[in-house]
Amino acid sequence: MSYDKNNIFAKILRGEAKAEVVYENKDVLCFKDILPKAKIHVLIIPKREYLDIYDFSKNATDIEKQNIFEAFESIISFYKIQKSGCRIITNHGVDGRQEVPHLHFHLMAGGDTGSMTKNS
């Protein structure tokens, strides 16, 4: 998979497609997933073009990396889920079943997100 400038998140970043933005900082945009898999389901994406977590880990600046974590903190505070918690995941490549070729973290919360060690 390679970066495709016409992916939907690139269009959202360019203002060519709409999204329900809940937070942004200099390097990061956070918006609601169009097909939420939890009561709260926010996508957290870098504003620069990074294909996946490997590309970002290898090539992003320290400030961009810090600002991803700043966004996690802000979203958790915004939804007041510091105590109840959340799940944050990123899908990478074919085996990770990544569908949109622009790095994104899924933050899911607002109820039990299910066990990752049992089939329930």
Candidates 8, 53, 81, 88; binder of ligand 5GP (CB under 6 A) is: 8
Kindly state whether residue 33 participates in binding ligand 5GP, applying the rule CB under 6 A. yes
Q: Is 38 one of the binding residues for ligand 5GP (CB under 6 A)?
A: no
User: What is the rounded distance in angstroms from the CA atom of residue 3 to the CA atom of residue 100?
Assistant: 9
Q: Select the residue interacting with ligand 5GP from 4, 16, 99, 112 (CB under 6 A).
A: 99
For residues 6, 12, 16, 19, the Cα torsion angle rounded to the nearest 10 degrees is: 140
Calpha distance 120→7 (Å, rounded): 33
Chain contacts with ligand 5GP (rule: CB under 6 A): 8, 19, 31-35, 91, 97-100
